[in-house]
Amino acid sequence: MSVRHWPANAAGRLSRRSDQRPAAGSTHGSSNPVRDLAAELDRLGGQHRDAIRQRCTEIVRTLTGGIDGSISSAELVQAVVGAVAPLDPARVWLLLAVLGGRYPDGGQVAAVARGAELDGTEAMVLATLAEVELTM
């Protein structure tokens, strides 16, 4: 997984094929990027969604000691943001390793840590999750 430094609003603009439209009641494009990303995650469905949710749950469980597995995707994404804040290099490494399923290199860690300094923890967590959704 190669994580780029994405602008703060990148997570709300996930790529989709031009023939796909947001589901009825979609929050895509709303002013809440956590809810937007969670809606995209929920639309994935099946094993793909479950795998990302499981990885997010493991991050939160590792850093906070526990989490209710039945929470909504939006609550889970917000829990990941809260668990990794402040997003220092050690937490970046954990985030990238767990979500990407492989050890990140130093350049990836440095880029995300620097992005968190510039754009905030939430923006970088959302960008990383968005990239995982698209590449998994």
Q: Alpha-carbon Rg of the chain, whole angstroms? A: 14
- 81 belongs to a structural domain: yes
Tell me how far apart the alpha carbons of residues 28 and 92 are, in angstroms, rounded to a whole number.
26
* Residue 102 structural domain: 32-135
Is residue 103 in some structural domain? yes
Instruction: Flag whether 125 is in a domain.
Output: yes
Q: State how many domains the chain has.
A: 1
Question: Splitting the chain (136 residues) into consecutive groups of 10 residues, what average pLDDT does each group show?
Answer: 42 34 43 93 90 96 89 96 96 96 95 96 95 80
CA distance 98 to 128: 11
User: Which residues have a Cβ under 8 Å from the Cβ of 46 and sit 6 or more positions away?
Assistant: none
Q: Is residue 8 part of a domain?
A: no
pLDDT of residue 17: 28
What is each CA distance from 136 to 48, 50, 61, 69, 81, in whole angstroms?
7, 12, 22, 21, 20
**Is residue 87 one of the residues assigned to a domain?**
yes
